[in-house]
Structure 1
Amino acid sequence: MIKYCPECGAELNKEFKFCPNCGANLSNLSINSGEQESKAKPVYTEDVIICDNCGEENSPSNETCAGCGIKLEGAEERKIVVEHKLKSEPIHKPERKKSTKKKKKSSVKKAVKPEQVDSKPEEKYLDNKKILIFTSLVTVLIIIVLVTSGVLDSGNTVNVNTQNLNDQSPGVNLQNVQLMNDLEAKIKANPDDVKSLLKLANLRFDSGLFEKAITNYKQYLAKVPSDANARIDMGVCYYNLGDLQTAIAEMEKALQYEPNHQIGSLNLGIVNLSAGNIDKAKEWFRKAVAINPNSKTGIKAQELLNSHN
Protein backbone atom coordinates (compact mmCIF):
# COMPACT_ATOMS: atom_id res chain seq x y z
CA MET A 1 0.00 0.00 0.00
CA ILE A 2 1.23 3.51 -0.83
CA LYS A 3 2.17 5.71 2.07
CA TYR A 4 2.76 9.45 2.20
CA CYS A 5 5.35 11.69 3.86
CA PRO A 6 3.81 13.24 7.00
CA GLU A 7 5.72 16.48 6.35
CA CYS A 8 5.13 17.24 2.68
CA GLY A 9 2.57 14.58 1.62
CA ALA A 10 4.75 13.12 -1.14
CA GLU A 11 4.08 9.48 -2.22
CA LEU A 12 6.62 7.10 -0.67
CA ASN A 13 7.80 3.52 -1.24
CA LYS A 14 8.36 1.35 1.80
CA GLU A 15 12.10 1.12 1.23
CA PHE A 16 12.69 4.94 1.65
CA LYS A 17 14.33 5.92 4.92
CA PHE A 18 14.24 9.64 4.03
CA CYS A 19 11.63 11.50 2.04
CA PRO A 20 13.04 12.19 -1.45
CA ASN A 21 10.95 15.37 -1.64
CA CYS A 22 11.59 17.13 1.70
CA GLY A 23 14.29 14.93 3.34
CA ALA A 24 12.22 14.03 6.41
CA ASN A 25 13.44 10.97 8.44
CA LEU A 26 11.11 8.05 7.68
CA SER A 27 12.85 5.29 9.70
CA ASN A 28 10.61 5.63 12.71
CA LEU A 29 7.41 5.77 10.71
CA SER A 30 4.85 2.99 11.08
CA ILE A 31 4.23 0.74 8.08
CA ASN A 32 0.54 1.12 8.67
CA SER A 33 -0.66 3.08 5.74
CA GLY A 34 -3.75 4.07 7.64
CA GLU A 35 -1.64 5.95 10.12
CA GLN A 36 0.36 7.54 7.29
CA GLU A 37 -2.76 8.62 5.53
CA SER A 38 -4.21 10.08 8.72
CA LYS A 39 -1.00 12.00 9.42
CA ALA A 40 -0.63 13.30 5.88
CA LYS A 41 -4.23 14.32 5.46
CA PRO A 42 -5.61 16.53 4.18
CA VAL A 43 -3.64 16.27 0.95
CA TYR A 44 -4.60 17.27 -2.62
CA THR A 45 -2.92 17.79 -5.97
CA GLU A 46 -2.68 21.09 -7.89
CA ASP A 47 -1.48 22.07 -11.38
CA VAL A 48 0.99 24.97 -11.33
CA ILE A 49 3.40 26.79 -13.65
CA ILE A 50 6.74 27.53 -11.98
CA CYS A 51 8.34 30.82 -13.09
CA ASP A 52 11.77 30.29 -14.68
CA ASN A 53 12.92 33.71 -13.40
CA CYS A 54 11.97 33.79 -9.71
CA GLY A 55 10.59 30.27 -9.00
CA GLU A 56 7.14 31.54 -8.07
CA GLU A 57 4.33 28.98 -8.41
CA ASN A 58 1.53 30.37 -10.55
CA SER A 59 -1.95 29.26 -11.50
CA PRO A 60 -2.20 27.80 -15.04
CA SER A 61 -4.59 30.65 -15.91
CA ASN A 62 -1.88 33.28 -15.26
CA GLU A 63 -0.08 34.70 -18.29
CA THR A 64 2.45 36.65 -16.20
CA CYS A 65 4.25 35.71 -13.00
CA ALA A 66 2.58 36.93 -9.81
CA GLY A 67 5.99 37.27 -8.18
CA CYS A 68 8.12 39.15 -10.72
CA GLY A 69 5.66 40.06 -13.47
CA ILE A 70 7.43 38.48 -16.46
CA LYS A 71 5.62 36.36 -19.06
CA LEU A 72 5.27 32.70 -18.02
CA GLU A 73 6.80 30.21 -20.44
CA GLY A 74 7.30 27.09 -18.21
CA ALA A 75 5.29 23.87 -18.57
CA GLU A 76 2.49 22.93 -16.21
CA GLU A 77 3.44 20.63 -13.33
CA ARG A 78 1.32 18.71 -10.88
CA LYS A 79 2.05 19.29 -7.23
CA ILE A 80 0.84 17.51 -4.11
CA VAL A 81 -0.19 20.09 -1.57
CA VAL A 82 -0.56 19.63 2.17
CA GLU A 83 -3.26 22.00 3.33
CA HIS A 84 -1.52 23.18 6.48
CA LYS A 85 1.51 24.25 4.40
CA LEU A 86 -0.47 26.74 2.30
CA LYS A 87 -0.41 29.42 4.96
CA SER A 88 3.31 30.17 4.56
CA GLU A 89 2.76 32.60 1.60
CA PRO A 90 3.48 35.35 0.62
CA ILE A 91 7.22 35.64 1.18
CA HIS A 92 7.91 39.17 -0.25
CA LYS A 93 6.22 41.39 2.32
CA PRO A 94 9.35 42.10 4.41
CA GLU A 95 11.19 43.32 1.29
CA ARG A 96 8.32 45.63 0.35
CA LYS A 97 8.31 47.08 3.84
CA LYS A 98 12.01 47.85 3.55
CA SER A 99 11.51 49.63 0.23
CA THR A 100 8.73 51.70 1.82
CA LYS A 101 11.04 52.74 4.63
CA LYS A 102 13.67 53.87 2.13
CA LYS A 103 11.13 56.12 0.43
CA LYS A 104 10.25 57.70 3.73
CA LYS A 105 13.92 58.45 4.41
CA SER A 106 14.33 60.09 1.01
CA SER A 107 11.26 62.24 1.63
CA VAL A 108 12.76 63.43 4.91
CA LYS A 109 15.90 64.52 3.09
CA LYS A 110 13.85 66.44 0.54
CA ALA A 111 12.08 68.28 3.32
CA VAL A 112 15.34 70.08 4.08
CA LYS A 113 15.44 71.72 0.63
CA PRO A 114 12.61 74.22 1.19
CA GLU A 115 14.57 75.62 4.15
CA GLN A 116 17.60 76.10 1.90
CA VAL A 117 15.46 77.77 -0.76
CA ASP A 118 13.84 80.04 1.82
CA SER A 119 17.24 81.16 3.06
CA LYS A 120 18.30 82.47 -0.38
CA PRO A 121 15.87 85.42 -0.52
CA GLU A 122 17.09 86.46 2.92
CA GLU A 123 20.69 86.48 1.69
CA LYS A 124 19.68 88.59 -1.32
CA TYR A 125 17.82 91.00 0.95
CA LEU A 126 20.90 91.42 3.11
CA ASP A 127 23.04 92.06 0.01
CA ASN A 128 20.64 94.74 -1.24
CA LYS A 129 20.63 96.37 2.17
CA LYS A 130 24.42 96.48 2.24
CA ILE A 131 24.50 98.00 -1.25
CA LEU A 132 22.03 100.70 -0.20
CA ILE A 133 24.09 101.58 2.89
CA PHE A 134 27.30 101.69 0.85
CA THR A 135 25.71 103.94 -1.79
CA SER A 136 24.40 106.30 0.89
CA LEU A 137 27.82 106.57 2.51
CA VAL A 138 29.48 107.31 -0.82
CA THR A 139 26.89 110.01 -1.57
CA VAL A 140 27.45 111.66 1.82
CA LEU A 141 31.22 111.60 1.32
CA ILE A 142 30.89 113.21 -2.12
CA ILE A 143 28.71 115.99 -0.69
CA ILE A 144 31.22 116.61 2.12
CA VAL A 145 34.08 116.85 -0.38
CA LEU A 146 32.13 119.27 -2.58
CA VAL A 147 31.22 121.49 0.37
CA THR A 148 34.74 121.59 1.80
CA SER A 149 36.22 122.33 -1.62
CA GLY A 150 33.84 125.27 -2.09
CA VAL A 151 32.03 123.87 -5.12
CA LEU A 152 28.66 124.05 -3.37
CA ASP A 153 29.42 127.31 -1.59
CA SER A 154 26.80 129.85 -2.66
CA GLY A 155 28.87 132.82 -1.54
CA ASN A 156 30.83 134.03 -4.55
CA THR A 157 32.43 137.36 -3.81
CA VAL A 158 33.27 138.11 -7.41
CA ASN A 159 29.72 137.72 -8.71
CA VAL A 160 28.08 140.09 -6.21
CA ASN A 161 26.96 143.67 -6.22
CA THR A 162 27.98 146.35 -3.73
CA GLN A 163 24.84 146.07 -1.66
CA ASN A 164 25.09 142.34 -0.86
CA LEU A 165 28.47 140.70 -0.99
CA ASN A 166 27.56 137.02 -0.63
CA ASP A 167 23.85 136.77 -1.37
CA GLN A 168 23.63 137.12 -5.15
CA SER A 169 20.88 134.91 -6.55
CA PRO A 170 21.09 134.98 -10.36
CA GLY A 171 18.18 133.76 -12.38
CA VAL A 172 14.94 135.21 -13.66
CA ASN A 173 11.67 134.27 -12.01
CA LEU A 174 8.14 135.23 -12.96
CA GLN A 175 7.85 137.75 -10.16
CA ASN A 176 11.00 139.59 -11.29
CA VAL A 177 9.78 139.58 -14.90
CA GLN A 178 6.57 141.28 -13.82
CA LEU A 179 8.51 143.83 -11.73
CA MET A 180 10.84 144.60 -14.64
CA ASN A 181 7.88 145.12 -16.96
CA ASP A 182 6.26 147.49 -14.47
CA LEU A 183 9.49 149.47 -14.02
CA GLU A 184 10.00 149.77 -17.78
CA ALA A 185 6.46 151.10 -18.11
CA LYS A 186 7.10 153.68 -15.38
CA ILE A 187 10.40 154.82 -16.95
CA LYS A 188 8.78 155.07 -20.36
CA ALA A 189 6.08 157.23 -18.86
CA ASN A 190 8.64 159.33 -16.94
CA PRO A 191 12.23 159.22 -18.33
CA ASP A 192 13.50 161.34 -15.41
CA ASP A 193 12.47 158.70 -12.85
CA VAL A 194 16.08 157.82 -11.89
CA LYS A 195 14.92 155.86 -8.85
CA SER A 196 12.96 153.42 -11.02
CA LEU A 197 15.85 153.29 -13.48
CA LEU A 198 18.31 152.24 -10.74
CA LYS A 199 15.85 149.63 -9.41
CA LEU A 200 15.50 148.20 -12.91
CA ALA A 201 19.30 148.03 -13.32
CA ASN A 202 19.74 146.28 -9.94
CA LEU A 203 16.88 143.85 -10.66
CA ARG A 204 18.42 142.86 -13.97
CA PHE A 205 21.82 142.52 -12.26
CA ASP A 206 20.34 140.16 -9.67
CA SER A 207 18.62 138.17 -12.43
CA GLY A 208 21.90 137.68 -14.31
CA LEU A 209 20.85 139.91 -17.22
CA PHE A 210 24.21 141.72 -17.16
CA GLU A 211 24.14 143.32 -20.62
CA LYS A 212 20.71 144.89 -20.04
CA ALA A 213 21.77 145.89 -16.54
CA ILE A 214 24.83 147.72 -17.94
CA THR A 215 22.54 149.67 -20.30
CA ASN A 216 20.36 150.78 -17.39
CA TYR A 217 23.38 151.62 -15.18
CA LYS A 218 24.82 153.82 -17.94
CA GLN A 219 21.48 155.61 -18.30
CA TYR A 220 21.35 156.15 -14.56
CA LEU A 221 25.04 157.22 -14.15
CA ALA A 222 24.64 159.70 -16.97
CA LYS A 223 22.24 161.51 -14.61
CA VAL A 224 23.86 160.57 -11.27
CA PRO A 225 27.62 160.08 -11.99
CA SER A 226 28.71 160.27 -8.34
CA ASP A 227 26.84 157.12 -7.23
CA ALA A 228 29.82 154.85 -6.40
CA ASN A 229 27.60 151.86 -5.58
CA ALA A 230 25.91 151.87 -8.99
CA ARG A 231 29.23 152.26 -10.81
CA ILE A 232 30.84 149.37 -8.88
CA ASP A 233 27.79 147.21 -9.65
CA MET A 234 28.21 148.03 -13.32
CA GLY A 235 31.90 147.06 -13.01
CA VAL A 236 30.85 143.68 -11.59
CA CYS A 237 28.58 143.21 -14.64
CA TYR A 238 31.57 143.77 -16.93
CA TYR A 239 33.58 141.28 -14.86
CA ASN A 240 30.89 138.62 -15.19
CA LEU A 241 30.89 139.17 -18.95
CA GLY A 242 34.69 138.67 -19.02
CA ASP A 243 35.62 142.33 -19.74
CA LEU A 244 38.17 142.67 -16.90
CA GLN A 245 39.81 145.91 -18.03
CA THR A 246 36.53 147.83 -18.28
CA ALA A 247 35.51 146.40 -14.91
CA ILE A 248 38.73 147.72 -13.31
CA ALA A 249 38.33 151.13 -14.95
CA GLU A 250 34.72 151.59 -13.75
CA MET A 251 35.51 150.45 -10.20
CA GLU A 252 38.54 152.75 -9.93
CA LYS A 253 36.36 155.62 -11.17
CA ALA A 254 33.81 154.80 -8.48
CA LEU A 255 36.49 155.02 -5.77
CA GLN A 256 37.39 158.51 -7.00
CA TYR A 257 33.97 159.56 -5.68
CA GLU A 258 34.18 157.39 -2.55
CA PRO A 259 37.81 156.39 -1.68
CA ASN A 260 36.87 154.35 1.44
CA HIS A 261 34.38 152.14 -0.33
CA GLN A 262 35.40 148.80 1.27
CA ILE A 263 33.46 146.48 -1.06
CA GLY A 264 34.81 148.41 -4.07
CA SER A 265 38.38 147.89 -2.79
CA LEU A 266 37.75 144.16 -2.25
CA ASN A 267 36.22 143.75 -5.72
CA LEU A 268 39.12 145.62 -7.33
CA GLY A 269 41.49 143.17 -5.63
CA ILE A 270 39.48 140.21 -6.97
CA VAL A 271 39.28 141.55 -10.55
CA ASN A 272 43.02 142.34 -10.62
CA LEU A 273 43.73 138.87 -9.24
CA SER A 274 41.71 137.35 -12.10
CA ALA A 275 43.59 139.54 -14.59
CA GLY A 276 46.93 138.28 -13.25
CA ASN A 277 47.86 141.53 -11.50
CA ILE A 278 48.91 139.84 -8.25
CA ASP A 279 50.74 142.77 -6.66
CA LYS A 280 47.95 145.20 -7.54
CA ALA A 281 45.40 142.78 -6.13
CA LYS A 282 47.29 142.60 -2.81
CA GLU A 283 47.28 146.40 -2.58
CA TRP A 284 43.51 146.52 -2.88
CA PHE A 285 43.09 143.67 -0.36
CA ARG A 286 45.27 145.53 2.15
CA LYS A 287 43.24 148.69 1.62
CA ALA A 288 39.98 146.81 2.21
CA VAL A 289 41.37 145.37 5.47
CA ALA A 290 42.60 148.77 6.59
CA ILE A 291 39.15 150.33 6.15
CA ASN A 292 37.54 147.89 8.63
CA PRO A 293 39.38 144.65 9.51
CA ASN A 294 36.50 143.34 11.67
CA SER A 295 33.74 143.58 9.08
CA LYS A 296 32.70 140.66 6.92
CA THR A 297 34.30 142.33 3.91
CA GLY A 298 37.52 143.04 5.82
CA ILE A 299 37.80 139.43 7.03
CA LYS A 300 37.25 138.15 3.49
CA ALA A 301 39.94 140.51 2.16
CA GLN A 302 42.39 139.30 4.82
CA GLU A 303 41.73 135.65 3.89
CA LEU A 304 42.44 136.38 0.23
CA LEU A 305 45.56 138.30 1.16
CA ASN A 306 46.86 135.45 3.31
CA SER A 307 46.18 132.88 0.59
CA HIS A 308 48.33 134.79 -1.92
CA ASN A 309 51.31 135.71 0.26
Structure 2
Amino acid sequence: MKREALVLLASGTLFGLIVGWVLGSQEPAGPSASPTVVTQTEDAGTAAGATPPPLDEARVRDLIAEAERDPRDAVTRTVLANLYFDADRFREAIKWYEESLAFNPDDVNVSTDLGVSYYYTNQPDRALEQFMHSLKVEPEHVKTILNIGIVRAFGKQDLAGAAEAWDRVIAISPDSPEGRAAQQALESLRSGHAGEVDTTGS
Protein backbone atom coordinates (compact mmCIF):
# COMPACT_ATOMS: atom_id res chain seq x y z
CA MET A 1 0.00 0.00 0.00
CA LYS A 2 1.24 3.46 -0.80
CA ARG A 3 2.35 5.59 2.12
CA GLU A 4 1.13 9.20 2.05
CA ALA A 5 3.70 11.24 3.94
CA LEU A 6 2.19 14.38 5.48
CA VAL A 7 4.76 16.84 6.73
CA LEU A 8 3.84 19.91 8.75
CA LEU A 9 5.31 23.29 7.87
CA ALA A 10 5.69 26.19 10.29
CA SER A 11 4.78 29.58 8.85
CA GLY A 12 4.13 32.15 11.54
CA THR A 13 4.58 35.07 9.16
CA LEU A 14 2.13 33.87 6.52
CA PHE A 15 -0.82 31.95 7.89
CA GLY A 16 -0.33 32.33 11.63
CA LEU A 17 -1.21 28.94 13.05
CA ILE A 18 -2.18 27.31 9.74
CA VAL A 19 -1.12 23.73 9.29
CA GLY A 20 0.98 23.46 6.15
CA TRP A 21 0.55 20.24 4.27
CA VAL A 22 3.10 18.74 1.93
CA LEU A 23 2.18 15.37 0.60
CA GLY A 24 4.62 12.85 -0.73
CA SER A 25 3.51 9.69 -2.40
CA GLN A 26 6.45 7.35 -1.97
CA GLU A 27 6.10 3.63 -2.12
CA PRO A 28 7.15 2.01 1.15
CA ALA A 29 10.92 1.80 1.33
CA GLY A 30 10.68 -1.54 3.10
CA PRO A 31 10.90 -2.85 6.66
CA SER A 32 13.24 -0.08 7.74
CA ALA A 33 10.79 2.67 6.81
CA SER A 34 9.66 4.75 9.76
CA PRO A 35 6.09 4.33 10.99
CA THR A 36 6.04 7.90 12.31
CA VAL A 37 4.92 9.56 9.09
CA VAL A 38 1.24 10.46 8.97
CA THR A 39 -0.93 8.23 6.83
CA GLN A 40 -4.33 8.96 5.33
CA THR A 41 -5.99 7.51 8.44
CA GLU A 42 -4.00 9.58 10.94
CA ASP A 43 -4.51 13.09 12.25
CA ALA A 44 -1.90 15.29 10.59
CA GLY A 45 -1.35 17.04 13.90
CA THR A 46 0.47 13.99 15.17
CA ALA A 47 3.32 14.72 12.78
CA ALA A 48 4.14 18.07 14.34
CA GLY A 49 7.72 18.13 15.48
CA ALA A 50 8.28 14.51 14.51
CA THR A 51 11.93 13.54 14.31
CA PRO A 52 12.89 11.92 11.00
CA PRO A 53 14.03 8.32 11.26
CA PRO A 54 17.76 7.64 11.06
CA LEU A 55 18.99 6.58 7.67
CA ASP A 56 19.69 2.86 7.37
CA GLU A 57 23.22 3.28 6.04
CA ALA A 58 23.80 -0.45 5.53
CA ARG A 59 20.67 -0.78 3.44
CA VAL A 60 21.59 2.32 1.47
CA ARG A 61 25.00 0.83 0.65
CA ASP A 62 23.37 -2.38 -0.54
CA LEU A 63 20.88 -0.49 -2.69
CA ILE A 64 23.57 1.73 -4.19
CA ALA A 65 25.54 -1.37 -5.13
CA GLU A 66 22.40 -2.83 -6.68
CA ALA A 67 21.74 0.37 -8.62
CA GLU A 68 25.31 0.40 -9.91
CA ARG A 69 24.94 -3.17 -11.14
CA ASP A 70 21.88 -2.18 -13.16
CA PRO A 71 22.13 1.42 -14.37
CA ARG A 72 18.55 1.31 -15.67
CA ASP A 73 16.89 0.03 -12.49
CA ALA A 74 14.31 2.72 -11.72
CA VAL A 75 12.73 0.81 -8.84
CA THR A 76 15.91 0.58 -6.78
CA ARG A 77 16.59 4.25 -7.40
CA THR A 78 13.12 5.14 -6.19
CA VAL A 79 13.58 3.09 -3.01
CA LEU A 80 16.88 4.87 -2.36
CA ALA A 81 15.25 8.25 -2.92
CA ASN A 82 12.44 7.38 -0.52
CA LEU A 83 14.89 6.35 2.18
CA TYR A 84 16.71 9.67 1.89
CA PHE A 85 13.39 11.56 1.72
CA ASP A 86 12.12 9.95 4.91
CA ALA A 87 15.38 10.86 6.66
CA ASP A 88 14.97 14.51 5.58
CA ARG A 89 18.06 14.24 3.37
CA PHE A 90 16.41 15.87 0.42
CA ARG A 91 19.47 16.67 -1.68
CA GLU A 92 20.39 12.99 -1.83
CA ALA A 93 16.75 12.14 -2.49
CA ILE A 94 16.75 14.51 -5.46
CA LYS A 95 19.67 12.69 -7.08
CA TRP A 96 17.90 9.33 -6.97
CA TYR A 97 14.46 10.63 -7.90
CA GLU A 98 15.98 12.33 -10.93
CA GLU A 99 17.75 9.13 -11.97
CA SER A 100 14.55 7.12 -11.52
CA LEU A 101 12.54 9.56 -13.63
CA ALA A 102 15.16 9.43 -16.37
CA PHE A 103 14.06 5.82 -16.96
CA ASN A 104 10.40 6.15 -16.00
CA PRO A 105 9.37 9.76 -16.68
CA ASP A 106 5.64 9.10 -16.34
CA ASP A 107 5.75 7.98 -12.70
CA VAL A 108 3.59 10.72 -11.23
CA ASN A 109 4.34 9.80 -7.62
CA VAL A 110 8.10 9.96 -8.10
CA SER A 111 7.72 13.21 -10.02
CA THR A 112 5.70 14.79 -7.23
CA ASP A 113 8.08 13.60 -4.52
CA LEU A 114 10.92 15.13 -6.52
CA GLY A 115 9.00 18.41 -6.56
CA VAL A 116 8.55 18.25 -2.78
CA SER A 117 12.28 17.61 -2.42
CA TYR A 118 13.03 20.67 -4.54
CA TYR A 119 10.78 22.72 -2.28
CA TYR A 120 12.54 21.53 0.85
CA THR A 121 15.88 22.57 -0.67
CA ASN A 122 14.67 26.13 -1.28
CA GLN A 123 13.91 25.67 -4.97
CA PRO A 124 10.21 26.63 -5.22
CA ASP A 125 10.32 27.40 -8.93
CA ARG A 126 11.79 24.00 -9.74
CA ALA A 127 9.20 22.42 -7.45
CA LEU A 128 6.36 24.07 -9.35
CA GLU A 129 7.90 23.09 -12.68
CA GLN A 130 8.10 19.47 -11.54
CA PHE A 131 4.51 19.53 -10.33
CA MET A 132 3.44 20.77 -13.76
CA HIS A 133 5.15 17.72 -15.24
CA SER A 134 3.18 15.52 -12.84
CA LEU A 135 -0.08 17.10 -13.99
CA LYS A 136 0.78 16.47 -17.62
CA VAL A 137 0.89 12.79 -16.69
CA GLU A 138 -2.19 12.84 -14.44
CA PRO A 139 -4.13 16.13 -14.62
CA GLU A 140 -6.25 15.49 -11.52
CA HIS A 141 -3.53 14.15 -9.21
CA VAL A 142 -4.79 15.82 -6.04
CA LYS A 143 -1.61 15.39 -4.02
CA THR A 144 0.26 17.33 -6.68
CA ILE A 145 -2.37 20.07 -6.85
CA LEU A 146 -2.43 20.41 -3.07
CA ASN A 147 1.35 20.74 -3.10
CA ILE A 148 1.13 23.43 -5.77
CA GLY A 149 -0.97 25.43 -3.33
CA ILE A 150 1.57 24.90 -0.55
CA VAL A 151 4.50 26.03 -2.66
CA ARG A 152 2.60 29.02 -4.05
CA ALA A 153 1.62 30.10 -0.54
CA PHE A 154 4.78 29.36 1.41
CA GLY A 155 7.42 29.49 -1.31
CA LYS A 156 6.10 32.25 -3.58
CA GLN A 157 3.77 34.22 -1.27
CA ASP A 158 1.10 33.88 -3.99
CA LEU A 159 -2.05 33.54 -1.91
CA ALA A 160 -4.41 33.85 -4.87
CA GLY A 161 -2.56 31.07 -6.70
CA ALA A 162 -2.63 28.92 -3.58
CA ALA A 163 -6.37 29.43 -3.16
CA GLU A 164 -6.96 28.52 -6.80
CA ALA A 165 -5.06 25.26 -6.38
CA TRP A 166 -6.84 24.34 -3.15
CA ASP A 167 -10.24 25.13 -4.66
CA ARG A 168 -9.41 22.73 -7.45
CA VAL A 169 -8.49 19.98 -4.97
CA ILE A 170 -11.85 20.41 -3.26
CA ALA A 171 -13.68 20.33 -6.59
CA ILE A 172 -11.96 17.09 -7.60
CA SER A 173 -12.01 15.18 -4.30
CA PRO A 174 -13.78 17.03 -1.48
CA ASP A 175 -13.96 14.13 0.97
CA SER A 176 -10.39 12.90 0.56
CA PRO A 177 -7.59 13.73 3.02
CA GLU A 178 -6.27 16.13 0.39
CA GLY A 179 -9.67 17.78 0.04
CA ARG A 180 -9.98 18.24 3.79
CA ALA A 181 -6.45 19.66 3.97
CA ALA A 182 -7.28 22.11 1.17
CA GLN A 183 -10.46 23.16 2.97
CA GLN A 184 -8.53 23.81 6.17
CA ALA A 185 -5.96 25.87 4.29
CA LEU A 186 -8.66 27.94 2.61
CA GLU A 187 -10.39 28.58 5.93
CA SER A 188 -7.09 29.83 7.31
CA LEU A 189 -6.75 32.14 4.33
CA ARG A 190 -10.23 33.50 4.87
CA SER A 191 -9.62 34.21 8.54
CA GLY A 192 -6.17 35.73 8.13
CA HIS A 193 -6.20 37.36 4.70
CA ALA A 194 -9.85 38.00 3.91
CA GLY A 195 -9.18 41.21 2.00
CA GLU A 196 -6.22 39.96 0.00
CA VAL A 197 -7.55 37.00 -1.91
CA ASP A 198 -10.88 35.68 -3.13
CA THR A 199 -11.34 32.30 -1.47
CA THR A 200 -15.08 31.97 -2.07
CA GLY A 201 -14.71 29.59 -4.99
CA SER A 202 -14.88 26.51 -2.78
Aligned to 1:75: none
How far apart, in 1, do the equivalents of 2:51 and 2:128 lie? 22
Task: Give the partner amino acid of 1:196.
Answer: T
Matched, 1:161 2:24: yes
Q: Is the 8 A contact 1:255 1:261 kept in 2?
A: yes
Deviation readout 1:10-46 (Å, 9 max, x if unpaired): xxxxxxxxxxxxxxxxxxxxxxxxxxxxxxxxxxxxx
Question: One-letter code of the match for 1:303?
Answer: Q
What CA deviation, in whole Å up to 9, does each residue of 1:159-205 have, x standing for no partner? x412498457663526x222211110111112122111111111111
SS at match of 2:24: coil
Between the two proteins, the alignment pairs up a number of residues equal to 156
Partner of 2:125: 245
Tell me the TM-score normalized by structure 2. 0.70
- Contact 2:74/2:101, CA 8 A, preserved across alignment: no
1:242 CA drift (Å):
1.2
Aligned residue in 1 for 2:185: 304
Judged with a 3 Å threshold, the aligned counterparts in structure 2 of structure 1 residues 284 and 166 are, in CA distance, closer, same or farther, namely farther
Match of 1:283 among 164, 184, 201: 164
Matched, 1:184 2:85: no
The counterpart of 1:256, out of the listed 128, 136, 152, is 136
Gaps of 5+ in 2: 1-15, 28-36, 40-46, 191-202
| Match runs of 1:197-276 below 5 Å | 197-274=77-154, 275-276=156-157
**5+ unaligned residues in a row in structure 1: which ranges?**
1-148
What is the CA–CA distance in structure 2 between the aligned matches of 1:163 and 1:180, rounded to whole Å? 16
Residue matched to 2:199: none
Does the CA contact (< 8 Å) of 1:170 and 1:206 recur in 2? no
| Equivalent-residue separation in structure 2 for 1:237 and 1:195 (angstroms) | 18
Report % sequence identity.
31
SS of residue paired to 1:208: coil
Contact 1:187 1:197 in 2 (8 A): yes
Amino acid at match of 1:289: I
The verdict on how the C-alpha distance between 1:213 and 1:171 changes in structure 2, with shifts beyond 3 A counting, is same
Higher relative contact order (CA 8 A, sep 6+): 2
Q: Find the residue that maps to 1:212 and give its secondary structure.
A: helix
What is the distance in 2 between the residues matched to 1:150 and 1:280? 20
How large is the Cα RMSD of the aligned pairs? Answer: 2.4
Structure 1 letter corresponding to 2:62: D
Specify the structure having the higher radius of gyration (Cα): 1
Aligned with 2:174: secondary structure? coil
Equivalent-residue separation in structure 2 for 1:188 and 1:261 (angstroms):
32
Give the CA deviation at 1:260.
0.8
Which one-letter code corresponds to 1:161 in the other structure? G
Aligned to 1:127: none
